[in-house]
């Protein structure tokens, strides 16, 4: 029998997984900031994925949720954090306190994952 704790843990895990997918998808076309990710997920998502994509159930997402997802995605090497200071961006370590100065882009591993999401050819 499923107890309340395992039911709740399952909901939290499912939501986090969906947010990770939404955030990774939002950065798959260009370098993005947290603000761009939030707008892409919550406002601009112009049907780039089918309505049946389960990750859509997590929207709308909050800024803290996006920052948490970025921490996880960078730690697991699905994305990198960058600073634009000069002619070329350079990769830096992700830290939540620096999020206002950072741009994000998926790694090859991240792009491979994005291609597995529904509706991306």
What is the rounded CA–CA span in Å between residue 21 and residue 15?
Answer: 10
Is the model's pLDDT at 7 over the cut of 60?
A: no
Determine the pLDDT at residue 113.
93
Determine the pLDDT at residue 37.
94
Confidence at 64, pLDDT banded by 50, 70, 90: very high
What is the rounded CA–CA span in Å between residue 12 and residue 100?
Answer: 26
Confidence at 59, pLDDT banded by 50, 70, 90: confident
What is the rounded CA–CA span in Å between residue 7 and residue 10?
Answer: 5
Q: Among residues 118, 116, 99, which one has the least CA distance to residue 32?
A: 99
Determine the pLDDT at residue 10.
46
Determine the pLDDT at residue 14.
84
For 13-45, how does the pLDDT look when each residue is reduced to its tens digit (9 = 90+)? 688 999 999 999 999 989 999 999 999 988 866
């Amino acid at each position: 029998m499923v107890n309340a704790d395992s039911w709740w843990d399952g909901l939290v895990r499912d939501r986090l997984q969906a947010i990770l997918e939404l955030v990774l998808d939002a950065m798959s076309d260009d370098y993005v900031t947290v603000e761009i990710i939030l707008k892409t997920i919550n406002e601009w998502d112009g049907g780039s994925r089918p309505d049946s994509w389960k990750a859509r159930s997590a929207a709308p997402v909050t800024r803290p949720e996006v920052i948490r997802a970025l921490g996880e995605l960078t730690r697991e090497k699905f994305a990198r954090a960058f600073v634009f200071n000069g002619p070329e961006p350079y990769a830096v370590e992700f830290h939540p306190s620096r999020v206002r100065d950072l741009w994000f882009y998926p790694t090859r591993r991240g792009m491979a994952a994005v291609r597995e999401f529904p509706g991306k050819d």
